[in-house]
Amino acid sequence: MPKGFLIDMDGVIYSGKDLIPGADKFINKLKEKKIPFMFLTNNSQRSRRDVVNKLAGLDIDVSEDHVFTSAMATARFLAWQKPHGTAYVLGEGGLLTSLHKNGYSLVLNDPDFVVVGEGRNFTLEMVNNAVDMILGGAKLIATNLDPSPKRAGWVNLGIKAVVSMIEEATGIKAFSVGKPSPVMMRQARKALGLSTAETTMIGDTMDTDILGGIQVGYSTVLTLTGVSKKEDLTKFAFEPDMVVNSVIDVPLP
Protein backbone atom coordinates (compact mmCIF):
# COMPACT_ATOMS: atom_id res chain seq x y z
CA MET A 1 0.00 0.00 0.00
CA PRO A 2 1.52 3.37 -1.03
CA LYS A 3 2.37 5.50 2.00
CA GLY A 4 4.25 8.47 0.60
CA PHE A 5 4.78 10.57 -2.50
CA LEU A 6 7.51 11.80 -4.80
CA ILE A 7 6.06 14.86 -6.53
CA ASP A 8 7.16 16.65 -9.68
CA MET A 9 6.73 20.42 -9.49
CA ASP A 10 6.39 22.26 -12.82
CA GLY A 11 3.11 21.11 -14.35
CA VAL A 12 1.93 19.51 -11.09
CA ILE A 13 2.29 22.19 -8.39
CA TYR A 14 2.73 25.25 -10.57
CA SER A 15 2.80 26.29 -14.19
CA GLY A 16 5.47 28.90 -14.79
CA LYS A 17 4.84 31.48 -12.06
CA ASP A 18 1.26 30.44 -11.31
CA LEU A 19 0.03 27.98 -8.71
CA ILE A 20 -2.07 25.16 -10.14
CA PRO A 21 -5.43 25.43 -8.35
CA GLY A 22 -5.68 23.08 -5.39
CA ALA A 23 -1.97 22.19 -5.28
CA ASP A 24 -1.43 24.13 -2.04
CA LYS A 25 -4.41 22.38 -0.44
CA PHE A 26 -3.00 18.98 -1.45
CA ILE A 27 0.36 19.72 0.17
CA ASN A 28 -1.35 21.00 3.31
CA LYS A 29 -3.33 17.73 3.53
CA LEU A 30 -0.10 15.74 3.28
CA LYS A 31 1.37 17.77 6.13
CA GLU A 32 -1.77 17.48 8.28
CA LYS A 33 -1.89 13.70 7.81
CA LYS A 34 1.89 13.42 8.31
CA ILE A 35 2.23 11.62 4.98
CA PRO A 36 5.88 11.58 3.77
CA PHE A 37 6.49 13.52 0.56
CA MET A 38 9.33 15.01 -1.41
CA PHE A 39 9.45 17.30 -4.42
CA LEU A 40 11.57 16.04 -7.32
CA THR A 41 13.01 18.49 -9.83
CA ASN A 42 15.33 17.92 -12.76
CA ASN A 43 16.41 21.55 -12.54
CA SER A 44 20.03 21.38 -11.36
CA GLN A 45 20.48 25.15 -11.29
CA ARG A 46 18.28 25.70 -8.25
CA SER A 47 19.45 24.86 -4.75
CA ARG A 48 17.06 23.34 -2.23
CA ARG A 49 16.70 26.77 -0.64
CA ASP A 50 15.81 28.28 -4.05
CA VAL A 51 13.03 25.71 -4.45
CA VAL A 52 11.71 26.33 -0.93
CA ASN A 53 11.64 30.08 -1.60
CA LYS A 54 9.80 29.63 -4.90
CA LEU A 55 7.17 27.48 -3.22
CA ALA A 56 6.87 29.97 -0.37
CA GLY A 57 5.99 32.60 -2.97
CA LEU A 58 3.04 30.37 -3.89
CA ASP A 59 2.00 30.05 -0.22
CA ILE A 60 3.35 26.51 0.09
CA ASP A 61 5.39 26.20 3.27
CA VAL A 62 7.90 23.34 3.19
CA SER A 63 11.46 22.72 4.38
CA GLU A 64 14.60 21.90 2.42
CA ASP A 65 14.15 18.28 3.52
CA HIS A 66 11.12 18.17 1.21
CA VAL A 67 13.25 18.88 -1.87
CA PHE A 68 15.41 16.57 -3.99
CA THR A 69 17.12 17.88 -7.12
CA SER A 70 19.01 16.34 -10.02
CA ALA A 71 22.06 18.28 -8.80
CA MET A 72 21.93 16.39 -5.50
CA ALA A 73 21.45 13.08 -7.32
CA THR A 74 24.38 13.81 -9.65
CA ALA A 75 26.76 14.81 -6.86
CA ARG A 76 25.88 11.76 -4.76
CA PHE A 77 26.29 9.47 -7.77
CA LEU A 78 29.74 10.88 -8.58
CA ALA A 79 30.84 10.63 -4.94
CA TRP A 80 29.79 6.97 -4.99
CA GLN A 81 31.53 6.27 -8.31
CA LYS A 82 34.76 8.10 -7.45
CA PRO A 83 35.02 9.60 -3.96
CA HIS A 84 36.82 12.97 -3.77
CA GLY A 85 37.05 13.21 -7.54
CA THR A 86 37.29 16.24 -9.81
CA ALA A 87 34.82 17.78 -12.23
CA TYR A 88 34.73 20.37 -14.99
CA VAL A 89 31.22 21.83 -14.81
CA LEU A 90 28.98 23.49 -17.35
CA GLY A 91 26.34 24.58 -14.87
CA GLU A 92 25.53 26.89 -12.01
CA GLY A 93 24.10 27.37 -8.53
CA GLY A 94 22.71 24.23 -6.99
CA LEU A 95 24.95 21.92 -9.03
CA LEU A 96 28.16 23.60 -7.87
CA THR A 97 26.96 23.61 -4.26
CA SER A 98 25.98 19.93 -4.35
CA LEU A 99 29.32 18.86 -5.82
CA HIS A 100 31.23 20.76 -3.13
CA LYS A 101 29.05 19.24 -0.38
CA ASN A 102 29.86 15.77 -1.69
CA GLY A 103 33.61 16.27 -1.64
CA TYR A 104 34.19 17.15 -5.28
CA SER A 105 36.77 19.63 -6.50
CA LEU A 106 35.95 21.84 -9.49
CA VAL A 107 38.90 22.04 -11.85
CA LEU A 108 39.84 23.58 -15.18
CA ASN A 109 42.21 20.84 -16.32
CA ASP A 110 42.25 17.03 -16.48
CA PRO A 111 38.96 16.33 -14.63
CA ASP A 112 37.59 12.90 -13.83
CA PHE A 113 34.16 14.01 -15.08
CA VAL A 114 32.65 16.67 -17.31
CA VAL A 115 29.25 17.53 -15.80
CA VAL A 116 26.56 19.35 -17.77
CA GLY A 117 23.66 21.08 -16.00
CA GLU A 118 21.40 24.08 -16.56
CA GLY A 119 23.01 27.46 -16.98
CA ARG A 120 23.35 30.52 -19.17
CA ASN A 121 26.85 31.63 -18.25
CA PHE A 122 28.96 28.99 -19.96
CA THR A 123 30.42 29.79 -23.36
CA LEU A 124 31.20 27.95 -26.58
CA GLU A 125 34.86 28.05 -25.51
CA MET A 126 33.92 26.14 -22.35
CA VAL A 127 32.04 23.60 -24.48
CA ASN A 128 35.15 23.20 -26.64
CA ASN A 129 37.22 22.67 -23.50
CA ALA A 130 34.74 20.03 -22.33
CA VAL A 131 35.04 18.23 -25.68
CA ASP A 132 38.83 18.13 -25.41
CA MET A 133 38.62 16.82 -21.84
CA ILE A 134 36.24 14.03 -22.83
CA LEU A 135 38.41 13.07 -25.77
CA GLY A 136 41.27 13.00 -23.26
CA GLY A 137 39.45 10.49 -21.05
CA ALA A 138 37.03 12.43 -18.83
CA LYS A 139 33.58 10.85 -18.38
CA LEU A 140 30.51 12.77 -19.59
CA ILE A 141 27.67 13.18 -17.09
CA ALA A 142 24.38 15.06 -17.60
CA THR A 143 22.22 16.09 -14.66
CA ASN A 144 19.25 15.37 -16.91
CA LEU A 145 18.31 15.25 -20.59
CA ASP A 146 15.31 17.57 -20.53
CA PRO A 147 14.60 18.94 -24.01
CA SER A 148 13.95 22.53 -24.99
CA PRO A 149 10.22 23.39 -24.98
CA LYS A 150 10.75 24.80 -28.48
CA ARG A 151 8.94 28.04 -27.75
CA ALA A 152 10.06 31.47 -28.90
CA GLY A 153 11.54 33.56 -26.10
CA TRP A 154 12.54 30.57 -23.95
CA VAL A 155 15.68 31.48 -22.00
CA ASN A 156 17.02 27.95 -21.52
CA LEU A 157 18.09 25.74 -24.43
CA GLY A 158 17.42 22.59 -22.46
CA ILE A 159 20.31 20.39 -21.37
CA LYS A 160 19.56 17.86 -24.09
CA ALA A 161 20.55 20.38 -26.76
CA VAL A 162 23.90 21.18 -25.12
CA VAL A 163 24.66 17.53 -24.39
CA SER A 164 23.79 16.54 -27.97
CA MET A 165 26.37 19.02 -29.24
CA ILE A 166 29.06 17.51 -26.99
CA GLU A 167 28.04 13.95 -27.87
CA GLU A 168 28.31 14.71 -31.58
CA ALA A 169 31.72 16.33 -31.16
CA THR A 170 33.13 13.46 -29.07
CA GLY A 171 31.26 10.36 -30.20
CA ILE A 172 30.62 9.68 -26.49
CA LYS A 173 27.13 9.31 -25.00
CA ALA A 174 26.38 11.08 -21.73
CA PHE A 175 25.17 9.23 -18.66
CA SER A 176 22.11 11.07 -17.35
CA VAL A 177 21.33 10.96 -13.63
CA GLY A 178 18.03 12.88 -13.44
CA LYS A 179 14.49 11.66 -14.10
CA PRO A 180 13.67 9.16 -15.55
CA SER A 181 16.98 7.59 -14.48
CA PRO A 182 16.59 4.95 -11.75
CA VAL A 183 19.58 6.58 -10.05
CA MET A 184 17.63 9.68 -9.03
CA MET A 185 14.37 7.82 -8.48
CA ARG A 186 15.94 5.39 -6.00
CA GLN A 187 18.01 8.05 -4.22
CA ALA A 188 14.91 10.17 -3.62
CA ARG A 189 12.87 7.23 -2.33
CA LYS A 190 15.63 6.25 0.10
CA ALA A 191 15.89 9.87 1.28
CA LEU A 192 12.15 9.73 1.96
CA GLY A 193 12.66 6.59 4.05
CA LEU A 194 10.14 4.43 2.19
CA SER A 195 10.23 1.05 0.49
CA THR A 196 9.50 0.65 -3.21
CA ALA A 197 5.99 -0.67 -2.53
CA GLU A 198 5.23 2.32 -0.27
CA THR A 199 6.14 4.96 -2.87
CA THR A 200 3.96 6.79 -5.42
CA MET A 201 5.36 9.10 -8.11
CA ILE A 202 3.12 12.00 -9.16
CA GLY A 203 4.05 13.79 -12.38
CA ASP A 204 2.75 15.47 -15.51
CA THR A 205 5.14 13.95 -18.06
CA MET A 206 4.88 10.41 -19.34
CA ASP A 207 8.47 10.03 -20.54
CA THR A 208 10.17 11.37 -17.40
CA ASP A 209 8.03 11.19 -14.24
CA ILE A 210 5.83 8.22 -15.14
CA LEU A 211 8.52 6.27 -16.99
CA GLY A 212 10.94 6.82 -14.12
CA GLY A 213 8.42 5.60 -11.57
CA ILE A 214 7.50 2.52 -13.57
CA GLN A 215 11.14 1.55 -14.12
CA VAL A 216 11.74 1.25 -10.39
CA GLY A 217 8.39 -0.25 -9.44
CA TYR A 218 6.59 2.72 -7.84
CA SER A 219 2.89 3.41 -8.16
CA THR A 220 2.40 6.26 -10.64
CA VAL A 221 -0.12 9.08 -11.02
CA LEU A 222 -0.30 11.30 -14.11
CA THR A 223 -1.79 14.77 -13.66
CA LEU A 224 -3.26 16.45 -16.74
CA THR A 225 -2.20 19.99 -15.75
CA GLY A 226 1.16 19.88 -17.52
CA VAL A 227 2.93 18.35 -20.50
CA SER A 228 1.17 15.03 -21.17
CA LYS A 229 -2.52 14.92 -22.09
CA LYS A 230 -4.99 12.05 -21.98
CA GLU A 231 -4.82 11.56 -25.74
CA ASP A 232 -1.03 11.13 -25.47
CA LEU A 233 -1.39 7.88 -23.50
CA THR A 234 -1.86 5.84 -26.67
CA LYS A 235 1.65 6.82 -27.82
CA PHE A 236 3.35 4.91 -25.01
CA ALA A 237 3.83 1.20 -24.37
CA PHE A 238 3.38 1.80 -20.62
CA GLU A 239 0.69 3.59 -18.64
CA PRO A 240 0.30 5.17 -15.20
CA ASP A 241 -1.66 3.47 -12.45
CA MET A 242 -3.94 6.49 -12.25
CA VAL A 243 -4.76 9.59 -14.32
CA VAL A 244 -6.21 12.65 -12.55
CA ASN A 245 -7.22 16.09 -13.74
CA SER A 246 -5.16 17.78 -11.01
CA VAL A 247 -3.02 16.85 -8.03
CA ILE A 248 -5.87 17.78 -5.68
CA ASP A 249 -7.71 14.71 -7.06
CA VAL A 250 -5.03 12.25 -5.88
CA PRO A 251 -6.52 9.98 -3.18
CA LEU A 252 -4.53 9.91 0.06
CA PRO A 253 -3.75 6.79 2.12
Active site residues: 8, 10
Spatial distance between the Cα atoms of 110 and 71, rounded to a whole number of angstroms: 22
CA distances to 16, 40, 117, 248 from 69, in Å: 18, 6, 11, 23
CA distances to 30, 50, 235, 252 from 26, in Å: 6, 21, 29, 9
Closest C-alpha to 40, from 237, 230, 218, 253:
218
Calculate ∠ Cα 129-131-133, nearest 5°: 70
Are the beta carbons of 101 and 173 closer than 8 angstroms?
no
Sign for the CA dihedral angle at 53, 67, 244, 252 comes to: negative
